[in-house]
Amino acid sequence: MTRPSDGGRIEVICGCMYSGKTEELIRRMRQVRIARQSYRIFTPRMDTRYAEGQVASHSGSRLEAITVATMREILTYAQDVQVVAIDELHLFDDDPAEMVRGCQWLANRGARVIVAGLDLNYRAEPFPAMMHLLALAEQVDKLYAICVKCGAYATRSQRLIDGKPAPADAPTIVVGGLDMYEARCRACYEPAV
Ligand SMILES: [Zn+2]
């Protein structure tokens, strides 16, 4: 492992659904690969949309990844690599504090840690682990989608059930396809009730 003076840092890529977070993570990791730095990419076991063992964006970019469920597993695989990328951080079923501690530990040891995930759940409330990492990170990039209603920049993920907003007491995490979520701006977002 490199020393902290060698550039340990946390980078957070956040935004709503369809804002291109995974695409951006893949772009950065392609550069890392070209630079011949050592790296590992992790995806949560809960994300069943794509094949295990790879990270994939909606637009079809993909890279090899390790599918895990906890930060403990990430730390097992991420020893001694220069760059650690974690996609869909909000989807790990681990304790949020554990996810944050692990990212901090890796960065303190000198690793470049790149995290991508939703900043807000479908109720437009912050995901705890992302909220903390956004504050602790050296670099934050908030990406936007286009609101399907009005064409403004979208920052919210609207979950729909039969075309209506999902109720507030629905599960926070439901991994779904294109038909389940819409990107919406603040004005067009319909709060869950
Ligand atoms: Zn709108």
CA distance 50 to 57: 9
* CATH code, domain with 53: 3.40.50.300
Count structural domains, the chain: 1
Query: Is 110 a domain residue?
Result: yes
Average pLDDT of 166-187?
87
The predicted model gives 95-123 an average pLDDT of: 97
Counting residues of the chain whose pLDDT is more than 90, the rounded percentage is 76
Residue 160: inside a domain? no
120: in domain: yes
Ligand 1 centre to CA of 11 (Å) is 28
Tell me, in angstroms, the distance from the centre of ligand 1 to residue 118's CA. 18
Active site residue 88: yes
Residue 69 belongs to a domain:
yes
- Residue 121's domain comprises 4-143
